[in-house]
Amino acid sequence: MNYTAAFKYIFDKPKWITNVLLGGVCHLIPVVGPIVFQGYQCEVIDARITPMGDGTLAPTEPGAPVNYQVPPAAYPDFDFSRFGEYLMRGLWPFLAVLVMMVPMVFMIFAVQISIFAAIALKVHGVVAALLILCGVVLYLLITLLVPMAMTPVVLRAMLMRSFAAAFNFPFARDFFFRMFWRLLLNVIVTNIVMIPLMIGGLLLCLVGIYPAAAILGLFYADVLAQTYRDYLLRGGMTIAIPAAAAPIVKS
């Protein structure tokens, strides 16, 4: 995994400022805007999966290392005239995340209730310490494991352009366990990258958080593309990408 490349490629595009600013505008639009940007992310992933930029990985031997000296295709520019197309493309991963978030919200709520209950009942000493410790550990596990578990679901929704196709248990299980440490590292690194981006955005009179969110989204799109490429190279299950894949994008 090359996290530096996942950040650098954003700025290699001549129109990167326009792409980031339009992505920031999307984040300004309530509800619909982030879905539109997620649709754009889907097309970025299509292009970044392979040097051909057509959403398919060139045949290679399972287990062979990824050759980052042959970079993926340049990502497509954001085209605001395709707002509706981006919206429909981003709708399926958005719904998949929404469904996956429901149990996460309930689990976090249950952890918080148990901690507040211990405080309200004036539980002291070792029991209180254990309850709080268990609550913190569970909270950390949920915030780490749920995004990891979401990755194969979201990836299928993005590449297959379908809500129903996103939920494939054999694929999700194989992806999760085959790429466990990579997924864990992705979550940690993404959160680390997010901190300076958000701080920088806040320092720019708060308005900067929107283009910062767009940069983070493009960074994560390439992280997903690299993760899928590595998964296939480790002998993973191929996602059946529809024939109407993203067009080949030239640098």
Q: What is the pLDDT of residues 20-38, one digit of tens each?
A: 999 999 999 998 999 999 9
pTM (predicted TM-score): 0.80
Range with lowest mean pLDDT among 9-13, 149-153, 213-217, 243-247: 243-247
Tell whether 249 is covered by a domain: no
Structural domain span for residue 80: 3-233
Tell whether 116 is covered by a domain: yes
Instruction: Decide: 15 and 75 in contact? Cβ < 8 Å.
Output: no
What pLDDT is stored for residue 85 in this prediction? Answer: 93
Tell whether 114 is covered by a domain: yes
Q: How far apart are CA 215 and CA 212, in angstroms?
A: 5
Q: How far apart are CA 239 and CA 152, in angstroms?
A: 10
Tell whether 25 is covered by a domain: yes
Tell whether 13 is covered by a domain: yes
Instruction: Decide: 73 and 250 in contact? Cβ < 8 Å.
Output: yes
Tell whether 132 is covered by a domain: yes
Q: How far apart are CA 40 and CA 207, in angstroms?
A: 21
Nearest CA among 187, 200, 225, 188 for reference residue 24: 200
Per residue in 44-63, pLDDT tens? 998 888 654 444 444 444 44
Instruction: Decide: 74 and 19 in contact? Cβ < 8 Å.
Output: no
Tell whether 159 is covered by a domain: yes
Number of domains in the chain: 1
Tell whether 251 is covered by a domain: no
Which residues, 6 or more positions from 55, have their beta carbon under 8 angstroms from its beta carbon? 46, 47, 49, 159, 241, 245, 246
Local confidence band at 240 (pLDDT 50, 70, 90 cut-offs): confident
